[in-house]
Structure 1
Amino acid sequence: MLFHLHVKNLALIDSAEVEFDDGLNILTGETGAGKSVIIGSVNIALGAKASRDLIRQGCDSAYVELVFSVTNEKKRKELERLDVIPDDDSLIIISKKIMPARSISKINGETVTSARLREITGLLIDIHGQHEHQSLLYHARHLEILDEYGKSRAAGLKQNIAEKYREYIELKKKLESMNLDQEQRLREMDFCRFEIDEIENAALKPGEEEECQSVYRRFANARKITESLAMAHEAVSADGVSKALRAVEDALQYDEGIRSIRDQLYDVDSLLSDLSREISAHMEEMTFDGEAFREVEERLDLIRNLENKYGKTIEDVLKSLEEKRKRLEELEHYDLLRVQTEKALKETEKELEKMSANLSKLRRKIAAELTEKIEDGLKELNFLDVKFAMEFRKLGHYTAAGYDEAEFMISTNPGEPVRPLGMVASGGELSRIMLAVKTVLAETDDIPTLIFDEIDAGISGRTAQMVSEKLGVIAKSHQVICITHLPQIAAMADSHFEIRKAVEEGRTTTTIRPLNREQMTEELARLLGGAEITEAVRQNAREMKELAERRKKAGKEV
């Protein structure tokens, strides 16, 4: 679960820290207090783009840190497969530092890319934005919801279809490329043979270019090398060390303590003699061979010309040679290969059709189960005479997910046929439908933390009470963090936080604080009463909180 949130120098926030609990965490506050900044900071830490304009004025950088507690063994293993190991306290720390020129994300101190960050955090938290219900207007999202619900049953089949689809596309592209007429084929064969002969005649060897470059450098700098060796030979051939050795040997008869000096001088004199002979031998070998130099130069030119045409290195050129040999073989057996490719494509398409049909059949079975549960949930959310179904259509082509196109259908009035959601549901109804969907998905979803950002928009009254109970149900199996403006939902809080905006020392600052029981009641009264909070409003707030607690204690199911 999301255990701790720390935000510093972001927008109106100077410094804010929150410790969330299990169950239902509610965030409330006046309009404009900065509720969106709190959820925005979480989004930023999870990989969303962060504008440098979000850095608090007068600060060099902004910082967001999320601390997740991971105690579930299955979740730990999933993270370990991504090379993420919780620390000794089962914590994973995700941070993002936002600077004017760039942003840096880290997981347990290790810098990560945005793509890797999203992959990892996708196992830990899911955010449902206040306008997410509008995605229900796009029926492409409906199939995603269905597959998400049935992922445990359909995952293997979907993976097999994706692999078969890739094979199908590759064969299709290959067949489409086999459209040469006889004249084009013969022309390409001649060109292939020319290129193959050109590379083969060169008889290239791996590492040859480096060897030729070394010989070329030696020839090109022969005079400089000879001059340098002559200077070295003169230096090591000087008799200074020999004179020193003779002098020390004369003195040795008077002082045995300098014997080690004599021995060292002897070793140095012997070493210099050997070195002088080795330099002389190398100088004798350093004869400039003009013909050999031209041969090396021409060989290097040939190698570099082939590299310019066929690859950056000799290895690339040799790889290109194998590809051209393969292409020539294809061209020489062009008609046979085309027939074989056509046959393979038909067989693959037949298998893909069968697999897609099996997936479609399974999806319809899962859809019947899903829509029944959503319909039950909608009835509990004050859709009294609702019918909810899913309509399937077969696409005219295959995809990596089969050939299905699916759309949710709904009827909210008796006697009316089911129709697409976008033609029937209002914004407030879509919000409730999305909540019903999320409630059902929560039964199979193993993501531990769910954030709802004002998903209760457009509802009130009895419906709001039912929504609060739905969130309570989800919070039994997930940590739920919910921003709301409705007292019915806020009353269900296991933990309640107030987001407040105030002016301190001439600067506007957003803060967040946990509320105790009395403060929760006062905040509920504010949500109920608006500008004027009377004792009657406070009493109403107390009764609302007590009722919510009795419902939770009784474990009422919705």
Structure 2
Amino acid sequence: MLINLHVKNLALIKEVDIDFSKGLVVLTGETGAGKSLILGSVNIALGNKVSKDIIRTGTEHALVELTFSVDEECQKKLKELDIYTEDGNTVTVARKITESRSVSKINGETVNLNTLKKVMGMFVDIHGQHDHQSLLYPEKHLEILDEFAGSEVEDLLLGIKNGYLKYCKLKKKLEEYDIDEGKRTREIEFAEFEVNEIESANLKIGEDEEIEEIFKKISNSEQIVNCLSQVYNYLNYESENGAGFVINRAIMDINSIKGMDEKIDQFQSILYDIDSMCRDLTSDIADYNNELDFNPEYAREVEERYNTINHLKMKYGKTIEDVLAYMGKKQEYLEKLKNYTVEIEAIKAEIKQMEDRLRDLCADLSKKRKEAAKRLSGLVTQALVDLNFISVDFAIDVEGDGRITEKGYDKVEFMISTNPGEPRRPLAKIASGGELSRIMLAIKSILAQEDKIETLIFDEIDTGISGKTAQRVAEKLAKISRNHQVICISHLAQIAAMADNHYLIEKKSENNSTVTEIYHLTREQSVKEIVRINGDGTMSNAAITHAIEMKDMADRTKSDLI
């Protein structure tokens, strides 16, 4: 149940904070005061798209925050999403909107929109001003029927959906085989060429790095040899200008004074180390230069191998692993092409088997839908009578058209006659706007008994109705509110009179700006608001007396519902 709505800096709303309770909650006010904006904020919290223009002028961000109390069953579902209640049984959902982005949080933890919508779907069901127009489309009729059937069709729908996905994949796979003989021959030849080209290279993983290193040595060998030869000359022991020759002379000189001082012995030891390092280095340079003496044939082989590997990598992948993986896929494709007839027959057999399975599931689903349609038709008919349809004949047609989809093969359509002697016709062809809103209310009242969503929100469900019909709609909302929290925006005095809690929404000027405010009305204030709704707002004794009578009659009606 929604227990609090906090909205800040949203369009005309500077800041409002509303505490809600059980039963029927009605919001009224002048046209344009911001009634729909209040419940529009709930839609924002639901995760719906929102324009940055919704942020109140002169502010940096807008905030919508809703607090719900949830029962134990809902808490279990929330735990599956790793969401836990606060203070025993409350959950706070918040969405902050800035010019650049929006951030959604549940109990202070940031969540993505997918999680947000899943959670809000457990808490609240919103019926917008024009949602009843969805009844003009048979797709909505199918959705309503399946929602009513609930667990009776849940497993069948899941089985059909999963089976249909497999079926579509098989059909796509079959399409890939749909090539003529000439094209198949060309595909085989091309695939064989690519496989042979890679196979003949006899690639080894890591070989490209090794061959590249050798190729670099060969390509730069002349420059390397010349440079190291010069270094060797600088270090040699045979030339008087060589470092080795000079080091050798230094050792001879220091040996002549050996033993005269301990420090001299240390110098002698260091010179020996330098001499050893110099001899090792000149030896290593000589060996390295000898290794770089590649013969032309070997150099040519390395260059050819280097070019071959790079050519294959340019065509088939960035690494040898990629090239070999590409070859593996081509080999599989080649095998399929060569076994074309066997493969295609196997796929066709699999498709036929899946199609037969789907038709059996669809037949079972259709049977259960027809059973549910009879029950729902009776319930809707009775609900419509309650809503002042004087003579109504309502039925749900369920017919299979043979075309399998992920929802089965049924076409579902609501049929209705509102005049005695007239045959039933598709709902979309004969229902007016006021009738559509009442039919949707009837359906919502029935589904509310089936689902576990505690809060139902109706934004002007009273569109196009008045008089006795308005009274019947008010009574229906009151009846639903005995087991659900019902929040309703209305222009009708009958619905306002039926409210367990009545709120007034007003638009005011404040410091050269316009703001929307909301007030919880006492019984006396509610009577005055009913007077305003009934007429021009003149507080005559007769108008006040009539409003009081409406409230008293509503109280008696609600008392009878308990």
Report the TM-score range of the alignment, normalised by the length of the smaller protein.
0.7 to 0.9
Aligned residue among 477, 486, 492 for 1:480: 486
TM score, norm. by length of structure 1: 0.82
Partner of 1:132: 131
State the Cα deviation string for residues 326-365 of structure 1 (Å, max 9, x = none): 2111111111111111222112111111111111111101
CA distance in 1, matches of 2:211, 2:110: 43
2:2 maps to 2
Following superposition of structure 1 onto structure 2, how do residues 46-445 of structure 1 map, counting pairs within 5 Å?
Answer: 46-70=46-70, 72-201=71-200, 306=312, 308-311=314-317, 316-445=322-451
Q: Deviations over 1:440-474 (max 9, x none)?
A: 11111112221100011111111111111211222
1:537 to 543, 555, 559: 543
- Against the structure 1 CA distance between its residues 323 and 485, is the aligned structure 2 distance closer, same or farther, given a 3 Å change threshold? same
Alpha-carbon distance in 1 for matches of 2:24, 2:347: 58
Name the residue aligned to 2:242.
none
Give the Å deviation of 1:317.
Answer: 4.2
Which whole-Å CA distance do the structure 2 matches of 1:286 and 1:167 have between them?
Answer: 64
User: Against the structure 1 CA distance between its residues 290 and 30, is the aligned structure 2 distance closer, same or farther, given a 3 Å change threshold?
Assistant: farther
Task: Tell me how far 1:86 sits from its aligned partner.
Answer: 2.5
Q: Could you tell me which residue of structure 1 aligns to residue 13 of structure 2?
A: 13
CA distance in 2 between partners of 1:85 and 1:506 (Å): 44
Match of 1:502, SS?
Answer: strand
Secondary structure, aligned partner of 2:481:
helix
Rounded to whole Å, the distance in 2 between the matches of 1:108 and 1:300 is 61
Q: Please give the per-residue CA displacement for 1:151-192, whole angstroms capped at 9, x wherever unaligned.
A: 211010011111111122122222222222333222212222
Secondary structure of the corresponding residue to residue 493 of structure 1: coil
Percent of aligned pairs with the same residue? 49
Q: Report the secondary structure of 1:477's partner residue.
A: coil
1:345-403 CA-to-partner distances (Å, cap 9, x unmatched) read 11211111111111111110110011110001001111122110012233352100111
Contact 2:531–2:537, Cα closer than 8 Å, also in 1? no
For the residues of structure 2 that align with 1:401 and 1:39, how far apart are their CA atoms? 32
Shift of 1:298: 7.8
Helix, strand or coil for the counterpart of 1:36? helix
Q: CA shift at 1:115, angstroms?
A: 3.3
Q: Distance in 1 between matches of 2:546 and 2:560?
A: 21
2:265 corresponds to:
none
Q: C-alpha separation between the residues in 1 aligned to 2:220 and 2:12?
A: 68
Kindly indicate whether the alpha-carbon contact (under 8 Å) linking 2:153 and 2:365 is maintained by their aligned counterparts in 1. Answer: yes
Task: Give the aligned partner of residue 263 of structure 1.
Answer: none
After superposition, the Cα gap between the structure-2 partners of 1:341 and 1:461, relative to the gap in structure 1 and judged at 3 Å, is: same
Could you tell me which runs of 5 or more consecutive residues in structure 1 were left unpaired when the two chains were aligned.
Answer: 231-249, 251-268
2:476 corresponds in structure 1 to: 470
Q: How many residues align?
A: 510
In the alignment, structure 1 residue 498 sits paired with structure 2 residue 504: yes
Which residue is equivalent to 2:23?
A: 23
How big is the alpha-carbon RMSD for the aligned residues of Structure 1 and Structure 2? 3.4
**Would the alpha carbon gap of residues 392 and 506 (structure 1) be closer, same or farther in structure 2, given more than 3 Å must change?**
same
Deviates further, 161-170 or 89-98: 89-98
What SS does structure 2 have at the residue aligned with 1:366? Answer: helix
Going from structure 1 to structure 2, the CA distance change for 1:204 and 1:368 (only over 3 Å counts) comes to farther
Deviations 1:56-85 (A, max 9, x none): 111122121122222x22222222223333
What is the CA-CA distance between 1:124 and the residue it aligns to? 1.8
Which sits farther off after the overlay, 16-25 or 513-522? 513-522
Equivalence for 1:457: 463
> Does 2:508 match 1:509?
no
Q: Is the 8 A contact 2:45 2:93 kept in 1?
A: yes
Greater shift in the superposed pair: 508-517 or 319-328: 319-328
CA distance in 2, matches of 1:541, 1:427: 28
Change (3 A) 1:188 1:549: same
* Amino acid aligned to 1:457: T
Matching residue of 1:264: none
Report the residue type matching 1:29 in the other structure. G
Quote the Cα distance in structure 1 between the aligned partners of 2:549 and 2:378: 35
CA distance in 1, matches of 2:86, 2:162: 37
